[in-house]
Structure 1
Amino acid sequence: MRNRLVAILVVMAALTVSGLAIPWGISSATARTQELWFSRYVDAEWFGDLAARAIATGDNSGLVLAMRRYSDLYGDRVIVVDAAGREVANTGVAADDPAVIASLTEARRNRHPRQPPPRLRLQGPSTMLVALPVGSGIRVDGAVLIESSTSAAKQDIRDAFSVIALLSFSAMAVFALVAVMVSRWILGPLWRLSRSLRDLTGSLPKPAAGTAPTAMQRHYRGPPEVRALARSFDTMALAVTESVDAQRQLVADTAHAIRNPLAALAIRLESLERFIPDEGTGAFQRAIYQVDRLAAVLDGLLRLAVAETPTGFAAAHPDADWLSDCGVCPVVTDRVEEWRPAFEAAEMVLDLDLSAAPNSTTVAAPAQALEQILDVLLSNSSRYAGPGAHTRVTVEPVAADVRIAVTDDGAGVAPAELDKLVNRFFRGASATTGGTGLGLPIAVALATRHGGELVIESVEPQGLRVEVRFPGVP
């Protein structure tokens, strides 16, 4: 790919240099042609004045002397004719040349050349003819013609072309060097990334047979190196996805496998209760508590695995529509009424405020997910806010989102623990009753899975606010 990139950059540089060099060369040739023509045009006017006096007086000695000196100095030949076309003086011009005859005829007709001839070409004529009428006004007494050699002008043009070519090749060499350096700078990280991916994908397990290709594998575009890099990314993505799925499945399978022996253990413990002496009752109750706590942890792990794996939840709940939207107000009202007795038993107050949300407020999340999130938030508030605390549930549409908040004025959480509340198995210092440390991670997984967000904030002067935000549906 580096060669292709360098070739593209060099071709673009060549087009740029050519676009500058070619007009420059044409301009140089045109300027040198005009310089030669104008100089000979001025000389022809001077000879015209001398020829007019010579024709009027019949004495051409001064004219001939000037023409010879001019020929000796510049190497150009001059011819002067009268109005009838008879030769007055000549320093070597071929009078029978058709081009000379035509130019003199045009000049005797009082036709002045208004513009210089086309630019000289290196393979063009070796002479340039400049003819002017002799006389004043409309009176024509004859014509003068200068046959100028173009060899010096052509050499100047050739030298200019050589300089332009040298500068162009030098510029191309610089551009080629810059193109190589730029290609290395651009493609260096890509090469290193490709090598790293190749080494990594070589150590990963191959995708399972029948695995559907990813989007990149279905659209091969670009150079071979980029396509190879895309295939390496696809292989890595598939391997990582399978690894994550296998990990989640392992958690779910392990939880399922442990639940049955754990349930049998709980039954056996309950059957042994009547045989426990009074002095062992405390230890027995602690054992029962630990078994129940372990069962709660396993249930939490299962819910977390389901929440983080859409395919897993679909398999566990084939009848649930987890792609549908839901109305917020009915779901929130139902969960608040369901949890109200628990708050009353905990000597807490639970309020619901739907004044900011129309009854038609809808979010792009299924009712089952919103119910599970609200159960987690209301359960935590009823457990940890403390007796006498006041918990308020609010629904508020903000811009394109719908925000559902559970706010209490209870004991709250230390600022250093706020960011840790969503970590698995983390329980704050104020969490003295029950809990597995998996509730908020489950809520976060459910919110994220459906395009939402869960935010935890402290409330002044005390308390905690947990807000879940879902995209609203118009």
Structure 2
Amino acid sequence: MRRRLLIALTVFAAIAVLAFAVPLSLTVATSRTQQLVLARSGDADRFANLAAAASTAGDSRALSDEVGRYHELYGENVLVVDAKGATTANGGANMEDPGIAAAVAAARRNQRPHAENQLTPWGAPTMLIARPVGTGVQVNGAVVIEASTARARADIAQTWALIVLGGVFAMALFTLLALTLSRWVLRPLAALSHAVADLTATLPKPRAESLAAAHPVSIARHHGGPPEMRAVAESFDTMALAVADSVDAQRQLVADTAHAMRNPLAALMIRLDSLEHAVPANAANTFRSAGAEVERLTALLDGLLALASAETPAAFDAVGLEEVDDHHCDAVQVVADRFDAWSSAYAAAGQELHVSPPIGHADVAISADVLAQILDVPLSNSCRYAGTGAKTVLTVAAEPGWVTLTVHDDGTGVPADEIDRLSTRFFRGSTAVSGGSGLGLPIAAALAQARGGTLTVASAHPHGLAVHVRLPAAESA
């Protein structure tokens, strides 16, 4: 993958350098060509003026002297002819050269000079600059300068060499940056790949049915990419299948254990009930305590099974917590139902249960049965532990995308250092003096989290406890 990334970055860098260097080189060559043409065109115009003056005066000695000095000074050939094509002054020009003859003929016909080709370091050694002598109406001769392009071509070559050196330096800098960038990008990926591979090697192999079920959604098979990414995807697929198998195995183990232990416990309870009439009076309390412990152990097994099901989203349908066609409900209606169901229990405990004024409708993305199961946990805790005379209020509040249900009481509450531990498995607050397995709030929290919500516990002012259940609204889920 690093090689591919380096190749891609290098190609992009080369394109960027060429996109800058090539136009710059062409611009330099064009500018130097125009500079040479303008300079020699000025000289040709000057000689044309001198030739016109010599033709008027009938004396061409001054013109010949000027052409000779120009040839000696610059080493460039100059030819001046009259209206009939006869040589007036010649500074080294070859009259038999076809190029010079063609330039003279074109100038005598007063043709516009053609655009000179752009010079290059490997271009022609000379350039012909021709001008007519006389006005635009009457042509009295022609001037041709055979200009040397050596210096201009050398300047162009020097500038192009600097541009090439700059491009090479830029490419070296871009390559260094590409190496640094590729290392920075790929080092975490390499570490992740090794870590996932090492972790996958320690996991049990996925079952054949798991592989067959996961084949349609395999990341490694349905997404392309370099070999390193495919290797990570394959390791991730294997790890995900192994983790899913482990979760299913854990849930099945809990369910099988609870089921296997429930039958002996039920048989033990039957035997204890059958022995009740034969228990002596002095052992009655011990007998009742044994029966209570058996009932508590049975409730603990049921709670473990419920917690395992709540923490495994794939198991919800299997245990009947979700209806296939009913994934939302009206929270206000569920709260009203729970109020009716718990009012008598609160009255028997010497407490009050109230519902805040309804807000109309508040649809949440959860079934009524699961929401009732979540609310029953804080209601049960409040009824059992808030204390005589406590007042509990059920509240429903809506906000964009969310619905919050609160069970608030003004009872004895829980010490501040125990608030964060109430949703921990098997933890029971110091104020819970009787009953309870410490699994109620963890089960309710797992049910809420599995559906994209949260369950939080907070102290109430001045005393008491508040449980907030925040769930996604049905329209936003």
- TM-score, L = length of structure 2: 0.92
> Structure 1: how far apart are the matches of 2:314 and 2:39?
91
Maintained 8 Å contact 2:254/2:308: yes
Q: Is residue 457–residue 465 contact of structure 2 (8 Å, CA) maintained in 1?
A: yes
Secondary structure of 1:118 counterpart: coil
> What's the CA shift string for 1:375-404, capped at 9, x where partnerless?
112101101111111111122322222222
SS where residue 296 of structure 1 aligns? helix
Distance 1:354 1:322, change over 3 A: farther
Instruction: Name the SS of the counterpart of 1:210 in structure 2.
Output: helix
Query: C-alpha separation between the residues in 2 aligned to 1:243 and 1:282?
Result: 44
SS, match of residue 299 in structure 1: helix
| 1:141 partner SS | strand
Q: Residues 270-309 of structure 1 correspond to what in structure 2 (within 5 A)?
A: 270-309=273-312
Q: Tell me, yes or no, if the aligned pair for 1:34 and 1:116 is still in contact at 8 Å.
A: no
Measure, in 1, the Cα distance between the counterparts of 2:284 and 2:324: 47
How far apart, CA to CA, are the structure 1 residues paired with 2:271 and 2:418?
39
Q: How far apart are the structure 2 equivalents of 1:95 and 1:144?
A: 13
Deviation at 1:152, TM superposition (A): 2.5
Structure 2 residue matching 1:81: 3-state secondary structure? strand
- Residue number in structure 1 paired with 2:176: 177
> 1:322 and 1:345 mapped to 2: Cα distance?
37
- Aligned pairs for 1:159-178 within 5 A: 159-178=158-177
Which residue is 2:413 aligned to? 412
Specify the alignment match of 2:43 in structure 1. 43
Give the deviation of 1:436 after TM superposition. 0.8
Asked if the contact 1:357–1:397 (Cα under 8 Å) also holds between the matched residues in 2, the reply is no
Match of 1:187 in 2: 186
Q: Report the residue type matching 2:63 in the other structure.
A: L
Maintained 8 Å contact 1:32/1:153: yes
Is 1:95 the equivalent of 2:95? yes
Residue 329 (structure 2) pairs with residue 336 (structure 1): no
Q: Which amino acid aligns with 1:38?
A: L
- Deviation of residue 456 (structure 1)? 2.0
Contact 2:406/2:468 (<8 A) preserved = yes
Per-residue CA deviations over 1:21-62 (Å, capped at 9, x if unaligned) read 111111111111112111111222222232233222232222
Pairing 1:432–2:438 present: no
The one-letter code of the counterpart of 2:39 is S
Unmatched 5+ stretches in structure 1: none
Matches within 5 A, 1:9-20: 9-20=9-20
Deviation at 1:266, TM superposition (A): 2.1
Q: Distance in 2 between matches of 1:58 and 1:152?
A: 37
Q: Distance in 2 between matches of 1:292 and 1:15?
A: 79
Cα distance between partner residues in 1 of 2:29 and 2:236 = 58
Deviations 1:339-381 (A, max 9, x none): 11110111000112342133xx322111210111121121011
Query: What are the superposed Cα offsets for residues 176-218 of structure 1, whole Å, 9 maximum, x if unpaired?
Result: 2221222111111111111111122122111101222244144
- TM-score, normalised via structure 1 length: 0.93
Give yes or no for contact 1:44–1:146 (8 Å, CA) kept in 2. Answer: yes
Q: Are the aligned partners of 1:427 and 1:436 in contact in 2 as well (CA < 8 Å)? A: yes
Q: Kindly report which structure 2 residues correspond to 1:106-125, keeping only aligned pairs within 5 A, or say none.
A: 106-110=106-110, 113=113, 117-125=116-124
Structure 1 residues 392 and 318: alpha-carbon distance in aligned structure 2, compared to 1, 3 A threshold: closer
Cα distance, 1:332–1:215 mapped onto 2, change above 3 Å: farther
Asked if structure 1 preserves the Cα contact closer than 8 Å seen for 2:410 and 2:465, the reply is yes
User: Helix, strand or coil: the match of 2:208?
Assistant: coil
Secondary structure at the aligned position of 1:466 is classed as strand
Shift of 1:301: 0.7
Aligned length: 471
Distance 1:133 1:403 in 2: 98
Distance 1:122 1:316 in 2: 86
Q: Using the alignment, how far apart are the partners of 2:357 and 2:447 within structure 1?
A: 23
- Residue 25 (structure 1) aligns with: 25
Match of 2:263 in 1: 260
Alignment of 1:462-473 (within 5 A): 462-473=463-474
Contact 2:379–2:407, Cα closer than 8 Å, also in 1: yes
Q: SS of the residue aligned with 2:103?
A: helix
Q: 1:357–1:395: 8 Å Cα contact kept in structure 2?
A: no
Render the CA deviation track for 1:265-294: whole Å, top value 9, x for unaligned.
222223333333333333333222222221
Which whole-Å CA distance do the structure 2 matches of 1:89 and 1:448 have between them?
Answer: 104
> 1:38, 1:116 within 8 Å by CA — same for their partners in 2?
no
Task: Determine the structure 1 residue equivalent to 2:395.
Answer: 394
Alpha-carbon shift at residue 116 of structure 1 (Å): 5.3
Q: Cα distance, 1:138 vs. partner?
A: 4.8
Deviation of 1:322 (Å): 7.2
Distance 1:57 1:319 in 2: 118
Q: CA offsets per residue over residues 4-25 of structure 1, 9 Å max, x none?
A: 0000011011101111111111
Greater Cα shift, 445-454 or 131-140: 131-140
SS in 1 for 2:173: helix
Match of 1:216? 219
Q: Is the 8 A contact 1:112 1:133 kept in 2?
A: no
Alpha-carbon distance in structure 1 between the residues aligned to 2:45 and 2:278: 141
Residue type of the alignment partner of 2:311: E
Question: By how many angstroms is 1:332 displaced?
Answer: 2.1
Task: Tell me if structure 2 keeps the 8 A contact 1:29–1:157.
Answer: yes
Q: Extract unaligned runs of 5+ from structure 2.
A: none
* Aligned residue type for 1:60: S
Q: 1:431 to 1:276 in 2, by over 3 A?
A: same
Match of residue 81 from structure 1: 81
Give CA-to-partner distance per residue, 1:115-165, whole Å, 9 cap, x none: 852311344433211122333575543221111122232222222222222
Say if 2:452 and 2:471, in contact at 8 Å, map to a contact too: yes
Greater CA drift, 261-270 or 234-243: 261-270
One-letter amino acid of the structure 1 residue matched with residue 434 of structure 2: T
- What is the deviation of 1:320? 4.5
Residues 78-112 of structure 1, C-alpha deviations (whole Å, 9 max, x = no match): 01112332210112223344432343334334456
Partner residue in 1 for 2:424:
423
- Structure 2: distance between partners of 1:319 and 1:376: 18
Equivalent-residue separation in structure 2 for 1:318 and 1:28 (angstroms) = 79
Which letter does structure 1 place at the counterpart of 2:229?
Answer: V
Structure 1 stretch displaced more, 168-177 or 16-25:
168-177
Q: Name the amino acid aligned to 1:399.
A: P
Structure 2 distance, partners of 1:188, 1:323, is 47
Following superposition, the deviation at residue 175 of structure 1 comes to 1.8
